[in-house]
């Protein structure tokens, strides 16, 4: 059996668009998208292919080929354009991240033979991106947030010596702090009318109300009820955030909570039993 690998190519493009589609009233468009004004983004596209590593070349696919395919096929009419006019699809359909990534997938996927397109990830900016994954009907939308908090890692059931052994400097009685980064990922099928899997404004409001305001600039051990009897590790913080959001944020299904305690310490939580 041949060894297989995944290979990712990243490209950038810039485009403008608006959400003032004939199907929406101005009020509905603003509720769904926040604005109907023309605006633009510096998009970042990641295309990942998977396949066997060829004995002759040591590659899954020639990166030059992937680069040319992305620029010729995926980004045709997208880069340096006004999407609502330059792309026929977006004269009728909203140019959402979900719909743009779907168009890119449809343009790219047929051109791979031995290697297959495994994932398309499209960033609108550093705090918002979508994933389309091979074999998945759902699209995954990720929003990035930040909060600052202090904590102390300590288990009352352990001895003083054992706590120091297990948690090291993180067991300092005075505690310590982090600038936490939280990724909230929701999943769902794209609504044919809105071009979205959920209302981003509602997701933002829910996360800000239930998570950021609740945890930001707090001593987690002393100020947050869930951590009165729960050690505030990155894993447990992710679990607490999940529990506070697990009500279908923005109409979508909560898929994952990821916590960056530091750039090197990252915890993912996918829900109970997963």
The pLDDT tens digits of the residues spanning 49-63 come to: 999 999 889 999 999
Q: Rounded to two decimals, what is the model's pTM? A: 0.94
Q: Domain ends where: 112, 134, 156?
A: 134
pLDDT of 153: 95
**CATH code of the domain covering residue 224:** 3.30.479.10
Structural domain boundaries, residue 23? 1-134
For the cut 90, the answer to whether the pLDDT of residue 89 exceeds it is: yes
Q: Domain ends where: 134, 160, 180?
A: 134
How far apart, in whole angstroms, are the C-alpha atoms of residue 61 and residue 273? Answer: 37
The single residue of 28, 30, 170, 202 carrying the catalytic annotation is 170
Are 108 and 39 part of one and the same domain? yes
Is 170 designated active site? Answer: yes
Are 152 and 89 part of one and the same domain? no
State how many domains the chain has: 2
* Gyration radius of the chain over CA positions: 22
171 touches 231 (CB < 8 A): no
**What are the tens digits of pLDDT across the range 190-209?**
999 999 999 999 999 999 99
Which residue do the tokens 């999943």 mark?
187
Are 147 and 127 part of one and the same domain? no
pLDDT of 247: 75
**What are the tens digits of pLDDT across the range 134-177?**
999 999 999 999 999 999 999 999 999 999 999 999 999 999 99
For residue 262, what are its two tokens? 């530091």
Are 129 and 184 part of one and the same domain? no
Are 124 and 197 part of one and the same domain? no
Is 217 designated active site? Answer: yes
- Nearest CA to 195 out of 11, 12, 18, 73 is that of 18
Are 148 and 268 part of one and the same domain? yes
Q: Domain ends where: 75, 104, 134?
A: 134
């Amino acid at each position: 059996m041949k060894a297989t690998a995944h290979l990712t190519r990243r490209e950038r493009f810039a485009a403008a668009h608006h959400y003032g589609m004939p199907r929406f009233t101005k009020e509905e468009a603003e509720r769904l998208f926040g604005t109907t004004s023309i605006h633009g983004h510096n998009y970042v596209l990641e295309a990942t292919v998977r396949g066997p590593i060829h004995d002759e070349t040591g590659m899954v696919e020639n990166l030059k080929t992937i680069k040319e395919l992305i620029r010729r096929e995926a980004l045709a009419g997208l880069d340096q354009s006004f999407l609502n006019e330059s792309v026929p699809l977006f004269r009728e359909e909203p140019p959402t991240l979900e719909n743009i990534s779907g168009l890119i997938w449809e343009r790219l996927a047929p051109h791979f033979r031995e290697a297959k397109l495994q994932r398309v990830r499209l960033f609108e900016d550093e705090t918002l991106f979508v994933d389309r994954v091979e074999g998945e009907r759902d699209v995954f939308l990720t929003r990035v947030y930040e909060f600052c908090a202090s904590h102390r890692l300590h288990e009352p059931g352990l001895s003083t010596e054992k706590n120091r052994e297990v948690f090291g400097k993180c067991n300092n009685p005075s505690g310590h702090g982090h600038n936490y980064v939280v990724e909230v990922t929701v999943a769902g099928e794209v609504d044919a009318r809105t071009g979205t899997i959920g209302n981003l404004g509602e997701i933002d409001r829910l996360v800000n109300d239930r998570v950021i305001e609740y945890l930001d600039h707090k001593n987690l051990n002393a100020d947050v009820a869930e951590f009165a009897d729960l050690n505030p590790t990155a894993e447990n913080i992710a679990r607490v955030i999940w529990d506070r959001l697990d009500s279908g944020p923005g109409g979508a299904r909560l898929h994952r909570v990821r916590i960056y305690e530091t750039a090197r310490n990252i915890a993912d939580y996918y829900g109970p039993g997963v």
